[in-house]
Structure 1
C-alpha cells in the first residue's frame, strides 16, 4: 500500500481538542484521579483485534500528546500499512492517568479511520487490473471530512473534491434549475474561470450525447447506469472526457463496473457506511 505523508498537526488539532473536551467534561477523568496514585507510570499498546488497513495513528498519537506532552508515543504500524489480529500499532508510555484520559478519543478516531481505509482497500482490490480508480465523495461525517478523506488515501483510493469550491460539478438539480444541459454548460463557459475543472452528471445516453454535442465539460459523471450502459457511454466519450461511474457502488459490484472502462468509480459508502476496525488499548503488566 502506498504510504501518504501525514497531514500537518495544525489542521488536526482543533478536531482532537473538541473531541477531548467533550470526553473529559467539566471535571476531567474522575475515575483515574480516584484510583490511580499520582505519578504512576505505565506503558500501553494500541493493538489490532482484526485484520485491515491502518489509518488514524497520527491522530491517535496527537490525542495522547495533547493530553500530556510528556507522553512518549511510538507508531509501529504507520498509516496506510496492513495489520493483522494482535499486531501492535502504537505504543505510549508515561503518566498512566494521562494515557487513560486520551484512550477513548484515540481509539474512536483510529477505529473509524482504519475502517474507512480497510473498506477502501477492498474496493481498490476489486478494481485491480483495470484503469479504474476508486474515489470517495462528500458523504462524510460533518467536521471530519479532512480525516476521512485522508483515510481513503491510506486505503489506496483517491479523493474527489473536498468542498463545493474545488471544482464545478453540475448535478441533476443544477440542470433542472438552469433549464437544461445546454443552458447550464453555456453559463459555465461564460461565467467561470478556465482554472476550474467542469464535471457534469448524466443519467441517460441521450443526455450524454447532448453533453458531447455542446462541449465545455472536462468530465462526465455517469449516474446509476448499469454495466451495459456504462460500456456504451465509455465508447461514446472515446477519451474526450474523464468518465466517472457513480450510484449504488459497493463491494461485490466494483469489478464489473471497473471492467466497463470507466476512469473513476465514486463510492459514497467508503465514508458513510464503513464499519469500525476493532482496536484496543491494553496497559502492559508484569
Structure 2
C-alpha cells in the first residue's frame, strides 16, 4: 500500500523513463475526489478506448460523456506514443472489480496472471480508489494495431509507476483482469506486457533498448586485431625509415615512435653535457665554432650509442 504520487512526482517519474508527456489543461486538479476515496495506490490498470483519432479521444477521456463524467483516466496513450495527462486523483476508469484480484495485486502473489475475476462493475470493490488508469487509443476490435511507439510508451508508463513505488511488474493489470465485465485491452498480451515492464525495471530509467549498441558483438580479440593487426593509413615517411618497412602497422608505428623519443632524450642529454662542459671554458678563448663542433660530436656519439642498443634489442 502506498500514498498516490503527487502530480509533480508523476511528471518526474514519467520523464525520467523517457515518456513524451502532453499536459492537458488543469489536469493536476481535474478529478472525482468529491465522489470517493483516492488511495491507497495498489497498482495500475491498462485500458483501450474504442475510439479513433487522438484529439477526439483526449477530449472524451478528459470530459467523459452523459452517463459517465470525466476524467475517465489519468493519462491517454496515443498511437504516436505521446501520453496526454488529463486528470490526477480519483478518476472514472476502473469501476468495480474482484476483491481477490486486488488482494493478489497488493501481495504480487499470482503467477503469470491473476485469478480470472468473477465480480464486475455492479458487485465488485471500488477500483477507482486503488488503481492508476491509462486509456490507450485503440478501436478494441482485435484488428486495430498497436504501433511500436504506443506499446513502448505503455511499457515505460507502467515501469515509471512501478519504479516510483518500488513495485514489481505484477502491480500492472489489464481491465479484463480486474473486472468480469470487461475485455480490454484487447490485442495486448498482459503477461507479455508485464514481462517487458519487468525487463525495463532491471535497467536504469533512461534505458533505451531500441538504440543500437555500437559495441554489440565485438570481442576482445576483435579489438586486439583492430589495434595491432590492421595496416595503418599512413606511417612514417621521412628518410629515417629508408623504405625498410613498406607496410606500417600500429605496433611498428609505436615502436618507431618509442625509438624516436629515446633518440631525442639522448640528444638532449648530450647537448646538456656538452654545454655544461663548455661553460667551464668561458673566458678561455673558446669561440662559437668550437662550441658547435663539440655539441655536434656529443650528439653523434649519443645517436651511434642508441642505434647499437636498438639493434641489440
TM-score with structure 2 setting the length: 0.20
TM-score with structure 1 setting the length: 0.21
Greater RCO structure (CA 8 Å; 6+ sep): 1
Q: Greater strand percent: which structure?
A: 1
Between structure 1 and structure 2, the one with the greater Rg is 2
